[in-house]
C-alpha cells in the first residue's frame, strides 16, 4: 500500500472566492448583519450566501450569534412591500420567525477586510450579552447610511477606536462612546444608545455623567452627541434632567423608532430649545 493511501484522504482547506470581498467589506462596515441583509447589500442570492457564510464561520473568519430581543431584518423593517408602510413586516403564514443569526468579523476576518475598508469592525471575542446592544448600533448605522450615504464617513464603534479622555475636577477620565462618525467630512458626531432608564450613583445617573464628560470635549470644539433612547418618553425625561445645567445645542436626543423611520427628518431635540422646535441631523 502506498504512503498516500495509508495517510487517508487529504484535508481540503477553504477555497477563496472573489465574491467573499463583499462579505468582508459589509461586515467590516456594519457588523452584526443577517444573511438577508448581506444579500440585499451585496445583491447576491441569499441561499448560496447562507452556505458561504457557514463555511466562513467554520473557518473562523466570521462569527455568528443570536440576540435576546433583536430579531428583525433592517431592510424588511424599513418598508413593507405589501402595504408600503414603514416598520411593518408582513406575516402571512402564521409562523413564528426564529431569531436570526447576526454575523460579524473575527480578528482573522478583519485582516481580510483591511485592504477593503478603513477601520473594519472585527472582534477578538464577543459576549452574547452584548449582541442586542451592538445590533441596535448596526441598525442605527444602516439607517444613517441608507439616508445620508457618503455624507457620513469614518464610522467607528470598537473601544480602542472611540476612546476619549477628558479632565474633570483635575483628574484625567477616560470613557468609551458607543460609536463615532464624521458628518460632511468635517463635523464629529458621537452616538450613545440607552435601552433602559439610566442607573444612578451618588445622586448622578450614568447618562448625565456622560453629558458632563462630553461637555468637556465640546468646550474646545464643535460637534454633536446623539443620545438615542429606546422610547420617546425617555427622551423627554433626559432633556428635562439636563436642560438647566447644560442648555446647549450639541446634545441631540431622539428615540430609536424615529431613527429607523425618518433619519433625515427633524427628529432631534436639544436642551437649548426643546420647547420650541426639533432639528434634523443636517439642518
- Taking only the tens place, the pLDDT of each residue in 252-265 is 999 999 998 899 99
- Taking only the tens place, the pLDDT of each residue in 8-18 is 444 455 656 67
Q: Residue 176 belongs to what H/E stretch? A: none
Region label for 158, one of left (φ > 0), alpha (ψ between -120 and 50) or beta (otherwise) = beta
- Taking only the tens place, the pLDDT of each residue in 115-143 is 999 889 999 988 888 899 999 999 999 99
Sign of CA dihedral 184, 185, 188, 189: positive
Out of 6-20, 91-105, 173-187, 255-269, which region has the weakest mean confidence (pLDDT)? 6-20
Beta bridge partners of 174: 165
Residue 283: its pLDDT value, please?
Answer: 73
Q: Taking a C-beta distance cutoff of 8 angstroms, is the pair 260, 143 a contact?
A: yes
Determine the Cα–Cα distance for residues 271 and 283; give it in Å rounded to an integer: 17
Determine the Cα–Cα distance for residues 225 and 212; give it in Å rounded to an integer: 12
- Taking only the tens place, the pLDDT of each residue in 12-54 is 556 566 789 999 999 999 989 999 999 999 999 999 999 999 9
How high does pLDDT run on average in the chain?
86
Q: Residue 143 belongs to what H/E stretch? A: helix 131-148
Residue 16: its pLDDT value, please?
Answer: 66
Confidence of residue 236 (pLDDT cuts 50, 70, 90): very high
Phi, psi of 253 (to 5 degrees): -115, 140
Sign of CA dihedral 140, 143, 145, 149: negative
C-alpha cell at 43: 445583491
Q: How many CA atoms lie within 13 A of 84 on its CB side?
A: 0
Say which residues have a Cβ less than 8 Å from residue 137's Cβ, sequence separation at least 6.
32, 157, 178, 179, 191, 193
Q: Taking a C-beta distance cutoff of 8 angstroms, is the pair 88, 128 a contact?
A: no
Determine the Cα–Cα distance for residues 76 and 97; give it in Å rounded to an integer: 13
- Taking only the tens place, the pLDDT of each residue in 60-92 is 999 999 887 766 666 665 554 455 554 444 455
Residue 80: its pLDDT value, please?
Answer: 46
Q: Taking a C-beta distance cutoff of 8 angstroms, is the pair 210, 175 a contact?
A: yes
Sign of CA dihedral 115, 118, 124, 127: negative
Of the candidates 32, 17, 139, the residue with the CA atom closest to the CA atom of residue 78: 139
Phi, psi of 65 (to 5 degrees): -145, 155
Q: Is the pLDDT reported for residue 2 higher than 90?
A: no
Residue 86: its pLDDT value, please?
Answer: 46
Total-model pTM:
0.84
C-alpha cell at 227: 443620545
Residue 276: its pLDDT value, please?
Answer: 92
Of the candidates 62, 152, 161, the residue with the CA atom closest to the CA atom of residue 113: 62
Residue 72: its pLDDT value, please?
Answer: 63
- Taking only the tens place, the pLDDT of each residue in 191-228 is 999 987 665 555 567 889 999 999 999 999 999 999 99
Q: Is the pLDDT reported for residue 156 higher than 80?
A: yes
Pairing of strands 171-175, 164-168: antiparallel
Q: Taking a C-beta distance cutoff of 8 angstroms, is the pair 100, 71 a contact?
A: yes
Number of Cβ within 10 Å of residue 172's Cβ equals 8
Q: How many H-runs (helices) and E-runs (strands) does the chain carry?
A: 11, 12
Amino acid at each position: 500500500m502506498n504512503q498516500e493511501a495509508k495517510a487517508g484522504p487529504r484535508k481540503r482547506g477553504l477555497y477563496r472566492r472573489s465574491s467573499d470581498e463583499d462579505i468582508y467589506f459589509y461586515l467590516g462596515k456594519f457588523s452584526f448583519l443577517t444573511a438577508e441583509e448581506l444579500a440585499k447589500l451585496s445583491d447576491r442570492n441569499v441561499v448560496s450566501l447562507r452556505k458561504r457564510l457557514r463555511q466562513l464561520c467554520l473557518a473562523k473568519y466570521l462569527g455568528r450569534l443570536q440576540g435576546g430581543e433583536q430579531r428583525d431584518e433592517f431592510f424588511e423593517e424599513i418598508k413593507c412591500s405589501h402595504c408600503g408602510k414603514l416598520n411593518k413586516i408582513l406575516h402571512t403564514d402564521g409562523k413564528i420567525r426564529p431569531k436570526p443569526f447576526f454575523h460579524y468579523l473575527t480578528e482573522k476576518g478583519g485582516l481580510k477586510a483591511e485592504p477593503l475598508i478603513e477601520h473594519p469592525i472585527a472582534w477578538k471575542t464577543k459576549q452574547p450579552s452584548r449582541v442586542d446592544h451592538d445590533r441596535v448600533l448596526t441598525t442605527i448605522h444602516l439607517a444613517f447610511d441608507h439616508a445620508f450615504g457618503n455624507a457620513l464617513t469614518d464610522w467607528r464603534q470598537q473601544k480602542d477606536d472611540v476612546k476619549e479622555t477628558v479632565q474633570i475636577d483635575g483628574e484625567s477620565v477616560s470613557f468609551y462612546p458607543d460609536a463615532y462618525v464624521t458628518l460632511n467630512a468635517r463635523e464629529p458626531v458621537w452616538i450613545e444608545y440607552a435601552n433602559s432608564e439610566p442607573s444612578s450613583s451618588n445622586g448622578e445617573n450614568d447618562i448625565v455623567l456622560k453629558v458632563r464628560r462630553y461637555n468637556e470635549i465640546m468646550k474646545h470644539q464643535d460637534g454633536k452627541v446623539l443620545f438615542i433612547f429606546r422610547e420617546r418618553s425617555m427622551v423627554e425625561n433626559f432633556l428635562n434632567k439636563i436642560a438647566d445645567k447644560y442648555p446647549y445645542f450639541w446634545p441631540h436626543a431622539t428615540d430609536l423608532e424615529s431613527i429607523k423611520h425618518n433619519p433625515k427628518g427633524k427628529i432631534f431635540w436639544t436642551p437649548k430649545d426643546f420647547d420650541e422646535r426639533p432639528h434634523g441631523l443636517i439642518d
